[in-house]
Amino acid sequence: MSFDNKSILVTGGTGSFGRKFISTLLSTHKPKKVIIFSRDELKQHEMREKYPDGAGSPVRYFIGDVRDLDRLRRAFSGVDIVVHAAALKQVPACEYNPFEAILTNVIGAKNVIDAALDEGVPKVLAISTDKAVNPVNLYGATKLCAEKMFVHANVYSGERVTRFSCARYGNVIGSRGSVVPLFEQQRASGRVTITDNRMTRFWITLRQGVQFVMDAIEQMHGGEIFIPKIPSMSLLDLAATIAPDCELQQVGIRPGEKLHEILISEDEARNAVELEKMFVIQPAHTWWRRENWSQGKDLPDGFLYSSANNSEWLTGEQLKELLKNA
């Protein structure tokens, strides 16, 4: 499936991922229409200056909230592909505002599913996170709920053309709320704070994340959770690379944080297959056709894809190179 001559809508289209996705889409493909759906009129205005929506442009801007099902139905009319990237994702904010996190991340996901089914959108892919695996905070729990709904929504499709899948990956280098901008900011003071010296994380650039999502959309059958093969790095090495001459202060792990993140749990691995550049978790249900990914290699018993046991680790020089091209 090509993105050329297709109508593509991105919820949360003015966020970090949305902006990079739109930029990549317009520079590498010739879509019929690109709809940026978000509730932030200022960010839409700023994007409009770079990507005008006048005559001859495929870009359209929709003010709307994923909490509003009627608005989603209107926006999804005639759309071929939906990328669902809208979410409340700051862990402390979700912990302090749990009802708001659920309304956006869970009820909003349900609304996206209902609108896509009602309007006959062929492909819908939701952006998820490693925090959805064995969640210890509300943000991760809401994203786990969203994943479950998107996988099971394929049952509701019935004879309809609509198919749903998810893309799950780790921390995006340099994104809003990332520790990288924090370390860069703290560098000027000569002191960098680390919650725990043992902590590790998966890392991916925004550009890599966008390409991975595009690849997943091209290959999805409906029901998959796609996971990229990406490197890990310890927070200690990350801080030493970004602020090499600074004092490192350990301040203790924050509520809702893990020492290590997991992208595939042992239980999920039983239904996952390995490909050259990704893993694919298949639904453990009778409606799923196992031959969809028969070219994949089954994972061994006890497989766990954790940032602590990863076979690929970032060096300081590799991180610097990624930051240049992020």
Q: Which residues are catalytic?
A: 131
Question: What does the block give as tokens for 79?
Answer: 């759309």
Q: Beta-strand (E) ranges in the chain?
A: 7-11, 33-38, 59-63, 81-84, 123-129, 163-169, 171-172, 191-194, 200-204, 225-228, 232-234, 247-250, 262-264, 272-274, 278-281, 297-298, 305-306
Check residue 107 and report its DSSP letter. Answer: I
182's enclosing H/E stretch is helix 179-187
Specify whether the CB–CB gap between 135 and 148 falls below 8 A: no
Cα–Cα distance between 111 and 99 in angstroms, integer? 16
Could you tell me if 46 and 21 are in contact, meaning their C-beta atoms sit under 8 angstroms apart? no
